[in-house]
Each structure stands twice: as C-alpha cells, then as structure tokens.
Structure 1
Amino acid sequence: MADCRAVLTLRPPRVEDADALVAACQDPEIARWTSVPSPYTRAHALEWIGRRLPTVESYLGFEDDVLVGSFSLLEIDVERRYAEIGYWVAREARGRGVATRAVDWLRARGAELGLSTFELLIHQDNPASQGVARRAGFTDTGERRPAPRVSPPTPPEWIVYRRNDA
C-alpha cells in the first residue's frame, strides 16, 4: 500500500491506461456511486479516453505510477464561472486522502480557467464522499438532485455540496 503522503500526480488519460481503468472499474462500489457502467470493458475505457467535450476536463490520478482514481471537472461554464467535480477512487487507495487532494487540485485547475464556484453531487448514502466534501471546504446546500447525467432520472437522492472561491 502506498504511503498516505505519496505524491499524487494527475494527468489526462492515455490509451495505455485502458487496462488499469478496466481493472479498477470492476469494483462494484465505483458503479454504485457513479455513472461508470458495470461490467466495465476495454471498449468503455477506450471510449472514455478518446472522449473530447468542451465542458469536461478528465484526469487520472497516480501514486508511484499506480492508478488511484479518476477525477474530472464537469459541466464547465466559464460565463457562470462554474464546474461540477466528479471522481472515483480505486479500492486500494481509499481512506488515504486521495480524493480530497484531487478535489483541491481540480479547484486550482478550475481557477486557472477563471472558475470560482464548484459543486460536488454526492449520494445521500455515501458518507465517505460526504467527508471528502467537508474536508475540501464544501458546504451542504440543503438541495437534493437526481443523479447527474443519467437516464431515466433517478429520485433526488444526491446532496449538492458547493464551494465558492470568489
């Protein structure tokens, strides 16, 4: 297991990351809390790696060249200075502060883009991610929404955590 003080490196995904993505995404907890398909295949990984959207920046996180998670700025809106932050952390890397460090990194990256308002949408039954939100300085707004970017819509079980750095 990597030390909790291991350097976390975030970079855009590459084709050579596909096998590590497939292996990590077999964890049912990732599919439970995200929109990652299950079972997750190499075709899914390659499609995600090749995806280019103007409102999304995706990164993979590594400690000592080992994949520890996927982290993204989503719904980027420069006019509103807004982005949602989404992530998952590989099973072996959970509980070591990886998500909190990545969320901080994504906020800094968002600031470079001129963004100042960030949201995390976290399922009401996911206390670990709720803890990440609080440790990263986000506040529960009291608002509940359906799961983002899924169809058909889900019940409004996703807590909106917000941080405004303006």
Structure 2
Amino acid sequence: MKKLVKKLLTTHPNIGFSIARLTLGLIIFPHSAQKLFGLFGGYGYSATMETLTMQMGLPSVVAFSVIMIEFFGSIFLVIGILSRFWALLLAGMFVGIIFITQLEHGFFMNWFGNQAGEGYEYSLLIIGLALTIVINGSGKWSIDTLISKKQ
C-alpha cells in the first residue's frame, strides 16, 4: 500500500509536458484545418483570408501568418519538433486575438449565443498550455528530446 501511495504522489513532469504539447497541437489542428482546407465545417483559405483582411481589417501578411502558424504549429507540436518556437508563436498570436477581438466581450465564451462575440477564456487556456511548453520544452515523447539526447 505504501508503494502505491508513493507512486501516486510521484510526479513525472516530462510526461506532463508531452501531454501539454500534444493537447495544444491536437486542439489547434482542427481550427487550422478549417481555415486552410475548409475541413470540419470551415470556409477554407480564400474565405478565411477575406474574413481576416476585409472584415477584421488585418493586414494580409498577418492573416496569412495566423493561418500558417496554426497549421504548421499544430503539426510540429504534435510531432514535437521546435515545440518551444511554435508554442511561443501560438501564445503571441492568441494574445493578439484577445486584444483584437475578444477583450470587449469579457471573460466567458459565448456558450449560449447571448453575446456579440467570444470571450477570452479559451485563449487563456491556449496561452497557458503554450507557455508551459515554452518554459519546459517538448517533454519526454518528442523529436526534440530524441535530437537533444544524440548531441
């Protein structure tokens, strides 16, 4: 019994960092596939670019960057390559999303459709996961870890 309690109380941060990285990548990927390919009910690249530039007023280079950071960042995070870099880009992007579109709508997401837009709680979760990766790295199960062990 004592061994079981000790095992339950022992932390494995490298595994936890891998879980954070995989969670972030797997959550962002469907959003990026909506924007880039029109999958999962999305509108695809052209319509997303039009929405981000014409309706939201973002410069085209920023709109393009949002789509590419989400798509390639999610894939590289799942694989575990340059995870700190991609997580930092995602964190920065979501800080921008909060200030550009969500801050005026408050904290809570628009669960019941009674707000004019989405709040920033989802973005804060993304930023928190991303900063965990930026600070601690990819975790045990990643290409980054395999590469760093060989050097």
Fold shared, TM-score > 0.5 on shorter chain:
no
- Relative to its length, the structure with more helix (as a share) is 2
- Which protein is bigger by CA-based radius of gyration? 2
Which structure is higher in strand share? 1
- Structure number with the bigger relative contact order (C-alpha 8 A, sep ≥ 6) is 2
TM-score in terms of structure 2 length: 0.32
